[in-house]
Amino acid sequence: MLFEGLELVSALATLAACLVSVTLLLAVSQQLWQLRWAATRDKSCKLPIPKGSMGFPLIGETGHWLLQVFSKIFSHEALQSYLPKIRLVIQDTLRAWSSHPEAINVYQETQKLTFRMAIRVLLGFSIPEEDLGHLFEVYQQFVENVFSLPVDLPFSGYRRGIQARQILQKGLEKAIREKLQCTQGKDYSDALDILIESSKEHGKEMTMQELKDGTLELIFAAYATTASASTSLIMQLLKHPAVLEKLREELRAQGILHSGGCPCEGTLRLDTLSRLHYLDCVIKEVMRLFTPISGGYRTVLQTFELDGFQIPKGWSVMYSIRDTHDTAPVFKDVNVFDPDRFGQARSEDKDGRFHYLPFGGGVRTCLGKHLAKLFLKVLAVELASTSRFELATRTFPRITLVPVLHPVDGLSVKFFGLDSNQNKILPETEAMLSATV
């Protein structure tokens, strides 16, 4: 009896300890998230963090006008106009990877690729390649220190983060000013053009500080998440050659890849991509099993009840995307990489609104999700049609989840081109990009 009593006390103590640690963990992570804004935002910036959210302040501006702007930035027409540019950046990158004599670090390289895509395509900056490389290094320093304690001491992470932000903002200001002066020779409107134009239309012309903060946040939202998903995509195609082959079959059937293996000439359009159903399943499955972001935070605006538990107003709550995907009853064999689960015959994601949410859910769902999916699809099409790639290590690396999901050593892969041109970097690519962007 005494023994049972002791067991109960010990179980209760463990439960209490767990609850305390979870609460502490939540409190600390919430604080860190809030500190992020201390480190990333300039004090002169007046854009408020939206009520109940710890999300991206830019989008939370009152009056919903910014939401309308974002719906334009990621509209079907806008995506169609970004598509050839995204493809060019990806093709150029794959050529560079294939020409590299050694294996490349895929996670590092996809970070450069998404940064390049954000700067060149989304923001339309024509920064010379060398300056872009420097900006990328500074950006990495900024991201590494985003979650640092706000102690402004020499050599502290916080100081390094602030310094990186200042350099970045200088670079961005220069690029924005150049862009505002030179609008000729462009064949499409990028996200920054749309932001500037629409803010004028809504009578809210944005200050230079707001523009710099806005662009920095757009890059922040796009960069690590898309690099994480791109790396996971490459890793899964390496792990599952049958999936890659099935993808190639689909590309052949749709006339994107010749039966001999080389890619067909011609432009890739959004409607062509939307006919590639298996491709869609592959991307969905990568995002289910390897969701880049673990979850999101919210501040409770109104007391509510969930499964018999009362959640009081003012509390911070976190919703877990990863746990949702792991426990959702709609997915069979949750740990198996199986793109066909999203195929027409099974459609495992069709039941329930909140079982599958790699891009979050509700009113603060990811605004760049269509762009992210488009980028991943083009990357998969180009990989399947123009590249051969092999794992350069004996085993696949371990995965870590922080700050976004990625392989511990970055994933070492050797790329080879499929045709004779593949190993050459074409000088005209750069010229084409700067002429159009």
| Binding interface with ligand HEM (CB under 6 A) | 55-56, 59, 122, 218, 221-222, 225-226, 229, 292-293, 296, 358-360, 364, 366-368, 371-372
Tell me how far, at minimum, the Cβ of 358 lies from ligand HEM, in Å.
Answer: 5
Helix (H) or strand (E) holding 406: strand 406-407
Q: Give yes or no for a cis peptide into 312 (omega within 30° of 0).
A: no
Nearer to ligand HEM, 117 or 257 (CB): 117
- Residue pair 243/286 in contact (Cβ under 8 Å)? The answer is no
Nearer to ligand HEM, 95 or 112 (CB): 112
Residue with CB nearest ligand HEM? 368
Tell me how far, at minimum, the Cβ of 113 lies from ligand HEM, in Å.
Answer: 12
Helix (H) or strand (E) holding 391: strand 387-391
Nearer to ligand HEM, 167 or 318 (CB): 318
Q: 366 labelled as ligand-binding? A: yes
Tell me how far, at minimum, the Cβ of 153 lies from ligand HEM, in Å.
Answer: 31
CA distances to 61, 63, 77, 411 from 71, rounded to whole Å, are 14, 14, 11, 35
Nearer to ligand HEM, 164 or 229 (CB): 229
Residues forming a β-bridge with 172: none
φ and ψ of 155, to 5 deg: 70, 0
How far is 24 from 33, CA to CA, in rounded Å?
A: 14
Tell me how far, at minimum, the Cβ of 34 lies from ligand HEM, in Å.
Answer: 13
Residues forming a β-bridge with 409: none
How far is 333 from 139, CA to CA, in rounded Å?
A: 39
Nearer to ligand HEM, 69 or 257 (CB): 69
- Which tokens is 415 given? 């790329």
Tell me how far, at minimum, the Cβ of 291 lies from ligand HEM, in Å.
Answer: 6
Nearer to ligand HEM, 58 or 257 (CB): 58
Strands annotated E in 231-331: 295-299, 304-306, 309-311, 316-320
* CA Rg value for the chain: 23
Of 224, 258, 226, nearest in space to 402 by CA? 224
Tell me how far, at minimum, the Cβ of 393 lies from ligand HEM, in Å.
Answer: 25
Binding residues: 366
Binding residues for heme: 366
